[in-house]
Structure 1
């Protein structure tokens, strides 16, 4: 008897912006280990994208955000460590208080958070973020 094929996973990634910088953390989980990623995570049943964005940012970084605005959906298939199809809802948000500092609330999942200049992003990027960047996504609002 064979196992059923994997099902797509829906997640929300949040571009937290400060000046020309974006908040990224280096992943410690099996999927995307060692890559730099946005705060975010799995969409829970019944949640709106904005609710998921606020919850995940709070759980991972301790930061509070002002709403979240939809930017794009990505569809990324990864082969390692196991076949995974990630449907990522990418959102943009600002800090509720610009003086807040990110904490590493999940050290088993992330090495820590830091602000990176959009024009000089660290590498390697998490595949979902890398795909969005290669597609020309600019998370900053038009001036």
Structure 2
């Protein structure tokens, strides 16, 4: 693949990201990104898969690092995977994104904190029928295609 006329600038290799739909009633947890890719868009918690990690371990670790939530007793499930190439961003990148899901017990209290204010403006619960804009591009693309994490 050419690098859009930028000679001798190698494109970065694809990376694997694991993100998670955290569901509570008919709401999902979203944070507003502080990043060179998708800055100020609303996205799911998640991050890079580390060597030797399972998808479930990565999802639980990233959620704890980003929100302070412990997902240990909750069942984390695989949903789907997408292939996302970001050519229009200031920093070109390619991510294979693994989408996971966890359904929280509505009887338990779940206190969400912004553990990484340098990477996120803050976390909040949003009704599935009334999601904020703009959504992070891979998430928006999935939802426009009819994906519903509650229906699976």
Identify the TM-score tier after normalising by the shorter chain.
over 0.9
TM-score, L = length of structure 1: 0.93
Structure 2 partner of 1:29: 35
State which drifts further: 99-108 or 64-73: 64-73
List gaps (5 residues or longer) in structure 2: 1-6
User: Hey, what's the Cα distance between the residues in 2 that align with 1:51 and 1:141?
Assistant: 24
Q: What does residue range 119-138 of structure 1 map to in structure 2 within 5 Å?
A: 119-138=129-148
Structure 2 partner of 1:89: 98
Determine helix, strand or coil for the equivalent of 1:31.
coil
User: Hey, what's the Cα distance between the residues in 2 that align with 1:29 and 1:58?
Assistant: 19
Q: Give the drift of 1:141.
A: 4.5
TM-score, L = length of structure 2: 0.88
- Rg (Cα) greater in structure: 2
List gaps (5 residues or longer) in structure 1: none
Aligned residues: 142
- Could you say which structure has the higher strand fraction? 1
Contact kept? 1:11, 1:88, Cα under 8 Å: yes
Contact kept? 2:31, 2:120, Cα under 8 Å: yes
User: Hey, what's the Cα distance between the residues in 2 that align with 1:126 and 1:7?
Assistant: 21
User: Hey, what's the Cα distance between the residues in 2 that align with 1:45 and 1:128?
Assistant: 23
Contact kept? 2:36, 2:91, Cα under 8 Å: no
User: Hey, what's the Cα distance between the residues in 2 that align with 1:105 and 1:130?
Assistant: 25
